[in-house]
């Protein structure tokens, strides 16, 4: 009998403490949500309507004095990372030019692949910021005449363009 009473009594005390802390932290802090950001703002004036909105049980921040204003980009899974890939001039004689558009930060790798799928050369491999990018690479007789493919890999997406070298 004593164990059941102690177990029940301890849960009632924990629940009461959690509700009390929720009222204490929510009376001076307001949370607002925008499309891409959660902001924690201090209330400018105290209102007596805190009973209406204080039972949302939001956990207090780890550092109560810190206000976060950092934007977080939210993207849909159907958004394409790599857009508008162009390879010019085609046929290539001495220099290959690439133009592509990235929608967010990503690792970009540009490779030349032969018809059988073997990697011939890796032209570029770096982390790139979003925006429209251009890339030029001089061939200088590094490739023999024939058909090749330029493979541009950004994150998990890949675009392959055919080129012919004269």
pTM above 0.75, yes or no: no
∠ at Cα 60 (11, 36), nearest 5°? 130
What CATH number does the domain located at 82-165 have?
A: 2.60.40.1930
∠ at Cα 11 (9, 14), nearest 5°? 110
Map out the domains of the chain as residue ranges. 2-56, 82-165
Q: What is the pLDDT of residue 81?
A: 85
Q: What is the pLDDT of residue 63?
A: 60
Decide: 59 and 26 in contact? Cβ < 8 Å. Answer: no
pLDDT in tens for each of the 166 residues of the chain? 567 767 788 888 888 888 877 766 665 555 555 444 444 544 444 445 444 444 455 555 566 555 656 655 555 555 788 888 999 888 888 889 999 999 888 899 999 999 998 999 899 999 999 889 999 989 887 888 899 999 999 988 999 999 998 8
């Amino acid at each position: 009998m004593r164990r059941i009473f102690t177990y029940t009594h301890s849960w009632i005390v924990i629940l009461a403490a959690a509700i009390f802390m929720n009222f204490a932290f929510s009376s001076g802090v307001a949370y607002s949500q925008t499309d891409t950001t959660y902001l924690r703002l201090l209330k400018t004036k105290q209102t007596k309507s805190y009973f209406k909105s204080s039972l949302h049980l939001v956990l207090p921040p780890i550092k109560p004095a810190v206000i976060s204003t950092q934007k977080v980009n939210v993207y849909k899974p159907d958004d394409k990372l790599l857009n508008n890939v162009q390879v010019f001039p085609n046929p290539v004689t001495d220099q290959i030019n690439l133009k592509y558009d990235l929608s967010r930060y990503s690792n970009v790798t540009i490779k030349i692949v032969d018809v059988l799928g073997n990697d011939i050369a890796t032209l570029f491999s770096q982390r790139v910021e979003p925006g429209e990018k251009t890339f030029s690479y001089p061939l200088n007789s590094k490739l023999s005449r024939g058909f090749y493919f330029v493979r541009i890999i950004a994150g998990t997406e890949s675009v392959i363009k055919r080129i012919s070298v004269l």
